Amino acid sequence: MTSRPMPGLSRFNTLQENAAAAALHEVCASSAWGSKLLAQRPFKTAEELFAASDAAMAELGAEDLAEAMAGHPPIGRPKPGDPTSSREQRGMAGASEELKAEMLELNLAYQERFGHVFLICATGATGEQMRDAMKARIGNDTGTEREIVRTELGKINRIRLTRLAEEDVEVEEDKD
């Protein structure tokens, strides 16, 4: 990455534990992943934060991955009022009604097959690219798909952690 100041990382390092946990939960809904990162604070660089994230992601079991995936809405249906979800799924915003209907059908088939939402790092991807990825992945066996999901979660986490580290944003702290 870079050696420029990371105001968000400095702020994150100094947050009370409950506020830091909440910030990490916004990045990834896995409590095991978040706990592993919390235990390693403070981070000197974004690279340290990313390495800790990658290591924690590699250690997640099936239940932890399911918890992480539960924090993601289906492709084509971002969480209402959630700017992160909308930004990440921007590629579906201008999709045709045909493509949206096809994605809904594919999402349902994928969920039926694997028991969870289709997860892909959608940042920068078009609706057609997401559809094609889902079509390609729906035939995977469960183990293969779990590892692809782990990789995609890692990519999403890195994008979100970059924002956390770079932006000096206010994070709600519990004053109790």
What percent of the chain shows pLDDT beyond 70? 88
Give the domains, in start order, of the chain with CATH numbers. 7-166 (1.10.3330.10)
Quote the tokens at residue 128.
């057609």
Task: List Cα–Cα distances, 149 to 11, 41, 116, in angstroms.
Answer: 30, 26, 10
Q: How far apart are CA 78 and CA 149, in angstroms?
A: 18
Residue 169: the pLDDT is 52
How does pLDDT run across 60-87, given as a tens digit for each residue? 999 999 999 988 877 767 667 667 766 7
Taking the model in full, what pTM does it have? Answer: 0.85
